[in-house]
Structure 1
């Protein structure tokens, strides 16, 4: 029985699902699993923290789908002060935050056999995990490059300083390797898919209309929908969980939905004519080709995906456009609607992903 702890700025109970949720769900099949969610504060909620709906359940243990969850909420949390002259107070705030670590996650660290630390704010706890429980194996889940997501200098400095305390660095894309101090402890394990999810039948929410769907808010480019909806008035464009980024969308055939529970989005995916990954062109990292879960979910349900050219990669069923270019958007949607070729995603299951992370030596394909 493996005793696992996950530390992340996500929360396992959140409506929105990221790769860390699926990994945690699989860990729960292997033994006692805890999820420590950090960085929730009045400041983060003012900025649109997706865990705001869980704020009244913070600072206590709650069991959810076999996982013990603890969401740490404070009046403040440390953040990127963005100015070199503020480096000292920034570092002091991060140090104080670590010192205030609650007793519950401290105990969880002591009891863990393995601790998964996701990239971002959680990286500041690498040294604390090693100090509190030197015997615990530390796995770093590199969901993003710290430089690309504009982490505070303190986080980047602590990560580099404590990097060799990490036992295994899991990279879901080889493009993330350049953001590591070295790759001696790194393994390549792409994101997985849940084939059982696509084998079920879900109610059709589209009421006979041809429809396309977008899920999530990451790098959301609202202008895509303004252009596409005017060019294809007979198609309904459903935008789910884009938050404030979608507030300006106001055409009859653009339907904006609030954040939905993950399971509620599945009918929209299964019955869509095509999916949309409307990433804006903002020096988007190359690793997005491999790490975009929405693109994998479109492939899982066998529907074409319309996405910017920089997110195409070599996967089947993706049709690219140039952000802001109306003609290329029209061509990509037309090609997606005309697609007759089967779309099959060959990704591993999430169970296989976790097995590769835990036992990489047994899988030669994890080597960089």
Structure 2
């Protein structure tokens, strides 16, 4: 079997998303390739997290058993927000599809199974079926296309080619309503790597009690301004938030650049609690299920502080209202005083991939859609 991943991530990136863990598991089972799309001078100017890999673009590089190809051009198609220019936008995306380099073009032709991650990769669904009619396509719905502000062309291509997808993997039941239909959808929550929490890491903190936040997704800097002022004896470590944390200052706010996933683990293991400071700007309710950072805090059995809309029913989470100083102070205090055991019940990534490859063998992949009254606003 030969597997191909198409994504706007790169398998070698410091930042880890669910697609990295799935690809790594597939590499243990078969020949696995990773085609990274959407890198250009334009995306680099906008802060593309793959910029550090640009020197290795447009050539084959094998990393941890995965054959990687990062496609970089001077330009890439983008979201034109003026409805009157939709034809121009569509033309850009069509032109981009015709320029796929020879190596990933061959991968499209000879892969048995192709994983398409939500986002720009969607535009290649039609090409996969044209070049390789027998390939099985699995759509990895990491995010809803509206939430990540995809171009109208991407969204229209997704709807037009949706029935060419063999399996639609949803990590949360709350994502089902954003799909054209649910006949090919399966529910497979994110996994965890339990081996990472079984290791003992050196404590990266000094003598002061510390908490940690990792990543930049929907990052709400106001949480740290409020919480750091309310708890001067607690250090707040912010890792890899980039520009979103650029204006944060304070004697107990420590800003770290983006670092390799493995390098963040000591900070998580030794934290008094973890922070998932998501903005409230129409944040999707599926964050309850899909937040990898919240899942990782549970894996390491440390409390987590997060907005109420991401709270869910997992143990060890303490909610607050974004921007509300009293509720933030209450959540932090509760996390610091928590003594109840925190147990993560997530599947391993190996179990996740088992379900992606053979969903009919696992009754728990059957999708259910929550009634409207059970949905979180």
TM-score, normalising length from structure 1?
0.99
Q: How does 1:68-147 map to 2 (within 5 A)?
A: 68-147=67-146
**Equivalent in the alignment of 1:247:** 246
**Equivalent in the alignment of 2:370:** none
After superposing on structure 2, the runs of 4+ consecutive aligned residues of structure 1 that deviate more than 2 Å are none
How many aligned residue pairs are there? 367
1:89 deviation in Å?
A: 0.4
Q: Distance in 2 between matches of 1:333 and 1:197?
A: 26
**Equivalent in the alignment of 1:45:** 44
**Equivalent in the alignment of 2:373:** none
**Equivalent in the alignment of 2:212:** 213
1:171 deviation in Å?
A: 0.3
1:148 deviation in Å?
A: 1.9
**Equivalent in the alignment of 1:58:** 57
Q: Secondary structure at 2:34's aligned position in 1? A: strand
Gaps of at least 5 residues in structure 1 are none
User: How large is the Cα RMSD of the aligned pairs?
Assistant: 0.5
1:83 deviation in Å?
A: 1.1
Q: How does 1:356-367 map to 2 (within 5 A)?
A: 356-367=355-366
1:328 deviation in Å?
A: 0.4
1:209 deviation in Å?
A: 1.4
1:159 deviation in Å?
A: 0.6
The answer on whether the counterparts of 1:106 and 1:132 sit within 8 Å (CA) in structure 2 is no
**Equivalent in the alignment of 2:191:** 192
Q: Secondary structure at 1:35's aligned position in 2? A: strand
Q: Deviations over 1:178-227 (max 9, x none)?
A: 11110100000000001001000111001221000000000101111111
Q: How does 1:156-171 map to 2 (within 5 A)?
A: 156-171=155-170
Q: Deviations over 1:272-292 (max 9, x none)?
A: 000000001101011111110
Q: Secondary structure at 2:293's aligned position in 1? A: helix
Q: Distance in 2 between matches of 1:344 and 1:63?
A: 36
**Equivalent in the alignment of 2:236:** 237
TM-score, normalising length from structure 2?
0.97
**Equivalent in the alignment of 1:22:** 21
1:327 equivalent to 2:326? Answer yes
Gaps of at least 5 residues in structure 2 are 368-377
Q: Secondary structure at 1:279's aligned position in 2? A: coil
The answer on whether the counterparts of 1:41 and 1:76 sit within 8 Å (CA) in structure 2 is yes
Q: Secondary structure at 2:330's aligned position in 1? A: helix
